[in-house]
Structure 1
Amino acid sequence: MAAPVEKKVTVASVAAYLGSTGLLAVLTAVQDNAGLVTGLPDALEPFVLALVPTAITFVGGWAARHTPRGPAGV
Protein backbone atom coordinates (compact mmCIF):
# COMPACT_ATOMS: atom_id res chain seq x y z
CA MET A 1 0.00 0.00 0.00
CA ALA A 2 1.35 3.44 -0.90
CA ALA A 3 2.12 5.80 1.95
CA PRO A 4 -0.07 8.91 2.12
CA VAL A 5 1.40 12.21 1.04
CA GLU A 6 2.43 14.13 4.14
CA LYS A 7 0.45 17.26 4.87
CA LYS A 8 3.73 19.20 4.97
CA VAL A 9 4.40 18.28 1.35
CA THR A 10 0.88 19.22 0.28
CA VAL A 11 0.98 22.56 2.12
CA ALA A 12 4.42 23.41 0.75
CA SER A 13 3.32 22.52 -2.80
CA VAL A 14 0.20 24.67 -2.57
CA ALA A 15 2.22 27.50 -1.05
CA ALA A 16 4.75 27.29 -3.89
CA TYR A 17 1.98 27.43 -6.48
CA LEU A 18 0.17 30.34 -4.83
CA GLY A 19 3.43 32.17 -4.14
CA SER A 20 4.56 31.78 -7.73
CA THR A 21 1.25 32.79 -9.29
CA GLY A 22 0.88 35.65 -6.82
CA LEU A 23 4.36 36.89 -7.62
CA LEU A 24 3.69 36.64 -11.34
CA ALA A 25 0.45 38.61 -10.93
CA VAL A 26 2.27 41.35 -9.02
CA LEU A 27 5.08 41.47 -11.56
CA THR A 28 2.57 41.66 -14.40
CA ALA A 29 0.76 44.51 -12.65
CA VAL A 30 3.96 46.49 -12.12
CA GLN A 31 5.61 45.55 -15.40
CA ASP A 32 5.76 49.18 -16.49
CA ASN A 33 7.09 50.23 -13.08
CA ALA A 34 10.51 48.71 -12.51
CA GLY A 35 10.76 50.37 -9.08
CA LEU A 36 10.23 46.99 -7.42
CA VAL A 37 13.76 45.89 -8.25
CA THR A 38 15.42 49.13 -9.29
CA GLY A 39 18.26 48.91 -6.79
CA LEU A 40 19.38 45.47 -7.92
CA PRO A 41 21.79 44.65 -10.72
CA ASP A 42 19.95 43.15 -13.72
CA ALA A 43 21.70 39.79 -13.36
CA LEU A 44 20.61 39.50 -9.72
CA GLU A 45 16.90 40.37 -10.15
CA PRO A 46 15.57 36.90 -11.10
CA PHE A 47 17.36 35.28 -8.17
CA VAL A 48 16.01 37.78 -5.66
CA LEU A 49 12.49 37.52 -7.08
CA ALA A 50 12.70 33.72 -6.85
CA LEU A 51 13.20 34.06 -3.08
CA VAL A 52 9.59 35.18 -2.60
CA PRO A 53 7.87 31.88 -3.52
CA THR A 54 10.76 30.01 -1.92
CA ALA A 55 10.18 31.79 1.39
CA ILE A 56 6.41 31.22 1.16
CA THR A 57 7.02 27.52 0.52
CA PHE A 58 9.44 27.24 3.43
CA VAL A 59 7.07 28.94 5.86
CA GLY A 60 4.10 26.86 4.65
CA GLY A 61 6.01 23.59 5.03
CA TRP A 62 7.47 24.61 8.38
CA ALA A 63 4.10 25.63 9.82
CA ALA A 64 2.20 22.52 8.68
CA ARG A 65 1.95 19.56 11.03
CA HIS A 66 3.54 16.21 10.23
CA THR A 67 1.32 13.38 9.07
CA PRO A 68 1.10 10.81 11.88
CA ARG A 69 2.78 7.50 11.06
CA GLY A 70 2.29 4.02 12.37
CA PRO A 71 5.01 1.87 13.89
CA ALA A 72 8.12 1.28 11.76
CA GLY A 73 7.91 -1.62 9.34
CA VAL A 74 4.12 -1.54 9.05
Structure 2
Amino acid sequence: MDESETNGKENSDVLDNSKITNITVTTISTICTIFTIFTISIITIITIRTIPNLPVITTLTSTIIMVMISSSSSSRLYS
Protein backbone atom coordinates (compact mmCIF):
# COMPACT_ATOMS: atom_id res chain seq x y z
CA MET A 1 0.00 0.00 0.00
CA ASP A 2 1.56 3.31 -1.03
CA GLU A 3 1.17 6.69 0.68
CA SER A 4 -1.63 8.00 -1.56
CA GLU A 5 -3.95 5.13 -0.54
CA THR A 6 -3.24 5.71 3.16
CA ASN A 7 -3.92 9.45 2.85
CA GLY A 8 -7.16 8.78 1.01
CA LYS A 9 -8.40 6.52 3.81
CA GLU A 10 -7.49 9.05 6.51
CA ASN A 11 -9.33 11.83 4.65
CA SER A 12 -12.49 9.74 4.31
CA ASP A 13 -12.38 8.96 8.06
CA VAL A 14 -12.17 12.68 8.84
CA LEU A 15 -15.16 13.37 6.58
CA ASP A 16 -17.21 10.63 8.24
CA ASN A 17 -16.42 11.99 11.71
CA SER A 18 -17.43 15.54 10.75
CA LYS A 19 -20.73 14.26 9.29
CA ILE A 20 -21.46 12.36 12.53
CA THR A 21 -20.61 15.47 14.58
CA ASN A 22 -22.94 17.65 12.49
CA ILE A 23 -25.80 15.16 12.87
CA THR A 24 -25.19 14.97 16.64
CA VAL A 25 -25.13 18.76 17.05
CA THR A 26 -28.32 19.13 15.00
CA THR A 27 -30.07 16.44 17.03
CA ILE A 28 -29.01 17.93 20.37
CA SER A 29 -30.10 21.44 19.39
CA THR A 30 -33.45 20.09 18.11
CA ILE A 31 -34.01 18.26 21.41
CA CYS A 32 -33.12 21.46 23.31
CA THR A 33 -35.61 23.46 21.24
CA ILE A 34 -38.42 20.91 21.71
CA PHE A 35 -37.70 20.70 25.44
CA THR A 36 -37.75 24.51 25.71
CA ILE A 37 -41.09 24.81 23.89
CA PHE A 38 -42.52 22.04 26.08
CA THR A 39 -41.27 23.75 29.27
CA ILE A 40 -42.60 27.15 28.17
CA SER A 41 -46.04 25.68 27.49
CA ILE A 42 -46.12 23.92 30.88
CA ILE A 43 -45.04 27.11 32.69
CA THR A 44 -47.65 29.12 30.81
CA ILE A 45 -50.45 26.64 31.58
CA ILE A 46 -49.51 26.45 35.28
CA THR A 47 -49.25 30.24 35.49
CA ILE A 48 -52.62 30.78 33.82
CA ARG A 49 -54.34 28.20 36.04
CA THR A 50 -52.72 29.42 39.26
CA ILE A 51 -53.00 33.17 38.77
CA PRO A 52 -55.77 34.03 36.29
CA ASN A 53 -55.20 37.79 36.67
CA LEU A 54 -51.48 37.68 35.90
CA PRO A 55 -50.47 40.23 33.22
CA VAL A 56 -49.54 38.89 29.81
CA ILE A 57 -46.27 40.84 29.96
CA THR A 58 -44.89 38.57 32.68
CA THR A 59 -45.64 35.44 30.68
CA LEU A 60 -44.06 36.94 27.57
CA THR A 61 -40.97 37.95 29.54
CA SER A 62 -40.47 34.44 30.91
CA THR A 63 -40.97 33.01 27.41
CA ILE A 64 -38.38 35.37 25.92
CA ILE A 65 -35.87 34.51 28.68
CA MET A 66 -36.35 30.77 28.07
CA VAL A 67 -35.87 31.19 24.32
CA MET A 68 -32.70 33.23 24.87
CA ILE A 69 -31.29 30.55 27.20
CA SER A 70 -32.02 27.77 24.73
CA SER A 71 -30.58 29.68 21.76
CA SER A 72 -27.39 30.52 23.68
CA SER A 73 -26.94 26.90 24.74
CA SER A 74 -27.43 25.62 21.18
CA SER A 75 -25.05 28.26 19.76
CA ARG A 76 -22.38 27.07 22.24
CA LEU A 77 -22.72 23.58 20.76
CA TYR A 78 -21.99 24.87 17.25
CA SER A 79 -18.78 26.70 18.23
Relative to the length of structure 1, the TM-score reads: 0.50
CA distance in 2, matches of 1:39, 1:29: 14
Match among 62, 68, 72 for residue 58 of structure 1: 72
Q: Give the total of aligned pairs.
A: 58
CA RMSD across the alignment = 3.3
CA distance in 2, matches of 1:58, 1:39: 24
Query: What residue ranges of structure 2 are gaps of 5+ in the alignment?
Result: 1-17
Provide the identity percentage: 2
Relative to the length of structure 2, the TM-score reads: 0.48
Classify 1:60/1:34 alpha carbon distance in 2 versus 1 (closer, same or farther; 3 Å): farther
Q: Give 2:19's aligned residue.
A: 4
Q: Give 1:20's aligned residue.
A: 37
**Higher relative contact order at CA 8 Å, sep ≥6: structure 1 or structure 2?**
1
Larger helix fraction of residues: 2
Query: What residue ranges of structure 1 are gaps of 5+ in the alignment?
Result: 67-74
Q: How far 1:61 moved relative to its partner?
A: 4.2
Q: Secondary structure at the match of 1:13?
A: helix
Q: Secondary structure at the match of 1:8?
A: helix
Q: How far 1:31 moved relative to its partner?
A: 0.9
